[in-house]
A and B are shown apart, each in its own frame.
Chain A
Amino acid sequence: MNSRNRITILLLQAAPYLLFLAILLVFGSLSDRFLSLANFTNIVIQAAPVAILAIGMTFVLLTAEIDLSVGAVMYLTGCILGLYLGGVPWPIGLMVVLVASALLGAVNGALVAYLGITSFIATLGTLFIGRGIAMSVSNTASVYFPEAITSLNRATVFGIPSAIVAVAVVFVIAWVLLQQTPFGRQVYAVGQDRDAATKAGLPARRIVFFCFVISGALAGMAGFVSSTQIGAITASYGLQAEFSAIAAAVLGGTSLFGGRGGVKGALFGALLIQTAANGLVIINANPYIYPLVTAGIIFIAVAVDGLRSHMLERLERRFIRPWEIA
């Protein structure tokens, strides 16, 4: 029974990879353009904003919380950048965006970690407040970005497109933070069992707080990368971005129940979602089925996560007659 459960868990963990393979096979057989290096580079560039969001979201999900405000943070900091920072050099613009978005994340973190408000509700609140402020400062009109920012989209570093460089930098920092620092390992402990972590003497609240700060800052970063790509934003900018980010993280193996997963998965999940979207465009699919496909992918991700957590819980069960089980 034990080993059967473990095999099922392995299969569940492999499900997103099988899904990715299936997407490659299906679209590859429907179009010759799909499986080309140029198209794949394109997919990675397009996936960059969601990948960065998903990496930030991973921190929050690891602590068994959720951040619904990331799309609003993208929109609000995008408005700040386009409306007030048009004349400054882009590195200063980026710094301001990062600080502003980290502060918004800190608001979420304070509400959740120190005031004890359920993260779903707290971040839903900041979502509407953030969007509200952004719409009022922009008068819901389109906000255009100056050439100094949009030209970054065409910039390369050693021949690598800037969006990919941005994702790579974010990914490496996030990975090191989670895997190689005490803070990162403690994030996992807090997400697994907050009571046990507190009992062991870990500063659980502070850890949760900083995960929201990171998620906020990376939402700003994702917004910046996205701004360079699209040149102008409207009131619908960033809508439902939180769902893509959560779906990407969960598809990559990060659990909604906390304590399991990592940023590698977030990267994979973002690529998977973008690959599916790209394939639909290439085969000229009816645009109205896009949400259905995305919803299907999210559904699979969440179902797999739920099943896996349930199985793990069963494996952790203790028995009165242990010698009969081993």
Chain B
Amino acid sequence: MKTNQRADQPLLSVEGITKSFFGVRVLHGVSFELWPGEALGLVGENGSGKSTSMNILGGVHQPDGGRMSLAGQLYAPQSPREAGRAGIAFIHQELNLFPNLSIEENLFITDFPKRGGVPFIDRGWVRKRARELLAEVDLDLPPTRLVGNLAQGERQLVEIAKALHADAKVLILDEPTTSLTRREVERLFAIVNRLKSRGVGIIFISHALEDVMHVCERVTVLRDGAVVGTDLRERLNVPAIISMMVGRSIDAIFPERSTKPREEVALRVRGLTQRGVANDVSFDIRAGEVVGLSGLMGSGRSELARLIFGLDPIESGTIEVAGTRLMRPTPKASMAAGLAFLTEDRRNEGLLMDASIVDNIGLTFLKRFRVGPGFVGGKALNTTAGELARMVHLSTDRVQDTLAKHLSGGNQQKVVIAKWLLRRPKVFILDEPTRGIDVGAKQEVYRIINRLVEEGGAVFLISSEIEEVMGLSDRILTINKGEITGSFERSGFDREAILAAAMAPVGPKREATA
């Protein structure tokens, strides 16, 4: 068997890969090796360069520098297809399957075997090969079953079966366990171990460090687009990995704030629960306070914000804004009570691209500018919009004839913030307020946040950049899998402890195995 052969060269070697996007260098020379039959864990904080590295490996992006070789041959894929042909299978977190087709059709969709000279699918061969592949991943399902009727874990196994059909030498699994139940995770591990014994090399990217330690022989830690270290599992433990992951210098400067949080509670959340989304979430935010929410991708940060703002239904729990309980949270009721919500997706949810700045600012609060039944006073609206535009330091004061789409990302964000400020919110939920905007605009957003709390507002700040949360918050809550896993006062901010809390395992340890 293959395992008896002593591999004398790595299956895959990556040497000094660099990559920049729009002049910003995101990878500073990433190097690692993958040996046949081993699983290599790849871990790092949000933005450490894991995804970019894997996208280069999978042919999605091309590197600016460095070299890769696969089984001794130079490897430089120009497209995902080329990567696939070379034997690299990339299983993304978002699976690439068609729910309206059967398992077997999904397996062979790009290269259906035809029967002899006629253009018909050789269904007999397809069925037989599909059964073989499904057996290899321990999936006991009829190949004719629609993928739409499969559970998430089963779909993942179908993707792996597809990779086996393509004769993959390297299998990249991106966050494979996040949306699986514990039982499905165990099944996945069994398959991974089987593939290892056949000489396949596995790259296992995950925030679930317990899973990484369980299935990987070696772990590579990335930070700031470079490898911090690679070591054998035996010589590592979860706290050691976490301390390797953090330690980034805080480069952003956060403006000082002159006021302290007040006594009165602006937002009180108690026992907020929605099956599959959040479990028993309770916390307070006081007037004049910034509370940061820190969590990894898929931890349920934005989903929690949506629940609080009333965008998604809640099963149980209460929400109070400045002492008034929201009986049935809807966005309208939340807004009336003094909540504001800056979504992470300003392009689709926050802004009308073809409307002027004035119209964008006034849109959600036209009532305020009513001059008669059904009429809106243009003059008052223009004046107020102009004031707000100055307040958020918008780059232009031509608020009437500048369209939102002509503004930079940072200025668009300021328009969305101004729109909400018009309502003088008591509690402002900011979801990724500085994503995709330049450093100068970030500073201005930070100043707006400070000004807001100095005037007695409360801010709930969600950000995947931990320095940002640490730099702005009076208190930090950590969330994982829809549960609050830690709370830190400003005096006790500690990156390592916060990251450890955000990674704390949540959920049933092991489900009853039937």
Residues of A within 8 A of B (CB): 176, 180-183, 185-186, 188-189, 191-193, 196-197, 199-202, 259-260, 312, 315-316, 318-326
Residues of A within 8 A of B121 (CB): 180-182, 185
Q: Which of A197, A200, A202, A316 is close to B148, meaning CB atoms less than 8 Å apart?
A: A316
- Interface digits, B251-295 against A, CB 8 Å rule (1 contact, 0 not)? 000000000000000000000000111110000000000000000
How far, in angstroms, from A200 to B84 measured CA to CA in the complex?
A: 10
Q: Given A182-B114, A260-B100, do A202 and B109 touch, yes or no (CB 8 Å)? A: yes
Q: Given A182-B114, A188-B98, A200-B96, do A320 and B298 touch, yes or no (CB 8 Å)? A: yes
Residues of B within 8 A of A191 (CB): 100
Contact of B98 with A322 in the complex, beta carbons under 8 Å: no
Q: Which of B109, B119, B180, B482 is close to A185, meaning CB atoms less than 8 Å apart?
A: B109
Contact of B96 with A196 in the complex, beta carbons under 8 Å: yes
How far, in angstroms, from A322 to B177 measured CA to CA in the complex?
A: 11
What's the minimum C-beta distance from B303 to chain A, rounded to whole angstroms?
6
18 new A-B contacts, CB < 8 A, other than A319-B179, A322-B180, A323-B508, are: A180-B123, A183-B119, A185-B112, A189-B101, A189-B109, A196-B97, A196-B98, A197-B98, A201-B81, A320-B278, A320-B298, A320-B299, A320-B300, A321-B482, A321-B507, A323-B507, A324-B275, A326-B181
How far, in angstroms, from A191 to B298 measured CA to CA in the complex?
A: 28
Residues of A within 8 A of B112 (CB): 182, 185
The 8 tightest CB contacts between A and B, nearest first, are A319-B276, A182-B112, A320-B300, A325-B276, A259-B100, A324-B275, A323-B181, A192-B98
Name, among B101, B151, B299, B303, the residue most crowded by chain A CB atoms within 10 Å (CB to CB): B101
Q: Does B492 contact A (CB under 8 A)?
A: no
Residue of A nearest to B79 (CB): A201
Residues of B within 8 A of A (CB): 80-81, 84, 96-101, 105, 109-110, 112, 114, 119-121, 123, 148, 151-152, 179-182, 275-279, 298-300, 303, 481-482, 507-508, 511
What's the minimum C-beta distance from B282 to chain A, rounded to whole angstroms?
17
Q: Which of B110, B179, B300 is close to A200, meaning CB atoms less than 8 Å apart?
A: B110
Contact of A322 with B276 in the complex, beta carbons under 8 Å: yes
What's the minimum C-beta distance from A42 to chain B, rounded to whole angstroms?
36
Contact of B275 with A321 in the complex, beta carbons under 8 Å: yes
Residues of B within 8 A of A324 (CB): 275-276, 279
What's the minimum C-beta distance from B391 to chain A, rounded to whole angstroms?
36
Residues of B within 8 A of A326 (CB): 151, 181
Instruction: Give 17 CB contacts A-B under 8 Å.
Output: A176-B120, A182-B112, A183-B119, A188-B98, A188-B101, A188-B105, A192-B98, A192-B99, A200-B96, A201-B80, A318-B152, A320-B300, A321-B278, A321-B279, A323-B181, A324-B279, A325-B275
Residues of B within 8 A of A189 (CB): 98, 101, 109
Residue of A nearest to B151 (CB): A326
Contact of A199 with B114 in the complex, beta carbons under 8 Å: no
Contact of B151 with A321 in the complex, beta carbons under 8 Å: no
What's the minimum C-beta distance from A197 to chain B, rounded to whole angstroms?
8
Contact of A320 with B148 in the complex, beta carbons under 8 Å: no
Contact of A321 with B110 in the complex, beta carbons under 8 Å: no
Main secondary structure of the interface of A (DSSP, over half): helix
Q: Given A180-B120, A181-B120, do A320 and B100 touch, yes or no (CB 8 Å)? A: no
> How many A-B contacts at CB < 8 Å in the complex?
93
How far, in angstroms, from A114 to B5 measured CA to CA in the complex?
A: 51
How far, in angstroms, from A192 to B102 measured CA to CA in the complex?
A: 13
What's the minimum C-beta distance from A254 to chain B, rounded to whole angstroms?
12
Residues of B within 8 A of A200 (CB): 96, 109-110
How far, in angstroms, from A176 to B144 measured CA to CA in the complex?
A: 17
Q: Which of A182, A196, A260, A322 is close to B152, meaning CB atoms less than 8 Å apart?
A: A322
What's the minimum C-beta distance from A258 to chain B, rounded to whole angstroms?
9
Q: Which of A176, A193, A325 is close to B98, meaning CB atoms less than 8 Å apart?
A: A193
Q: Which of A182, A319, A323 is close to B182, meaning CB atoms less than 8 Å apart?
A: A323
Contact of B96 with A321 in the complex, beta carbons under 8 Å: no
Q: Given A180-B121, A321-B275, A324-B275, do A316 and B96 touch, yes or no (CB 8 Å)? A: no
Q: Given A186-B109, A321-B276, do A199 and B299 touch, yes or no (CB 8 Å)? A: no
Residues of A within 8 A of B151 (CB): 326
Residue of B nearest to A177 (CB): B119
Residues of A within 8 A of B81 (CB): 201
What's the minimum C-beta distance from A179 to chain B, rounded to whole angstroms?
9
How far, in angstroms, from A323 to B511 measured CA to CA in the complex?
A: 9
Residues of A within 8 A of B507 (CB): 321, 323
What's the minimum C-beta distance from A298 to chain B, rounded to whole angstroms?
24
How far, in angstroms, from A180 to B151 measured CA to CA in the complex?
A: 27
Contact of A320 with B481 in the complex, beta carbons under 8 Å: yes
Contact of B148 with A312 in the complex, beta carbons under 8 Å: yes
How far, in angstroms, from A245 to B182 measured CA to CA in the complex?
A: 49
What's the minimum C-beta distance from B398 to chain A, rounded to whole angstroms?
32
How far, in angstroms, from A2 to B277 measured CA to CA in the complex?
A: 15
How far, in angstroms, from A201 to B276 measured CA to CA in the complex?
A: 34
Q: Given A192-B98, A259-B98, A325-B275, do A320 and B181 touch, yes or no (CB 8 Å)? A: no
Residues of A within 8 A of B123 (CB): 180
What's the minimum C-beta distance from A4 to chain B, rounded to whole angstroms?
14
Residue of B nearest to A320 (CB): B300
Q: Which of A180, A202, A320 is close to B303, meaning CB atoms less than 8 Å apart?
A: A320
Residues of A within 8 A of B482 (CB): 320-321
Residues of A within 8 A of B105 (CB): 185, 188
What's the minimum C-beta distance from B505 to chain A, rounded to whole angstroms?
13
Residue of A nearest to B300 (CB): A320
What's the minimum C-beta distance from B502 to chain A, rounded to whole angstroms?
14
What's the minimum C-beta distance from B96 to chain A, rounded to whole angstroms?
5
How far, in angstroms, from A149 to B40 measured CA to CA in the complex?
A: 72
Residues of A within 8 A of B511 (CB): 323
Residue of B nearest to A182 (CB): B112
Contact of B182 with A320 in the complex, beta carbons under 8 Å: no
Contact of A199 with B96 in the complex, beta carbons under 8 Å: yes
Residues of B within 8 A of A193 (CB): 98
Contact of A202 with B110 in the complex, beta carbons under 8 Å: yes
Residues of B within 8 A of A323 (CB): 181-182, 507-508, 511
How far, in angstroms, from A201 to B179 measured CA to CA in the complex?
A: 26
What's the minimum C-beta distance from A274 to chain B, rounded to whole angstroms?
28
How far, in angstroms, from A112 to B82 measured CA to CA in the complex?
A: 28
Residue of A nearest to B295 (CB): A320
How far, in angstroms, from A197 to B276 measured CA to CA in the complex?
A: 29
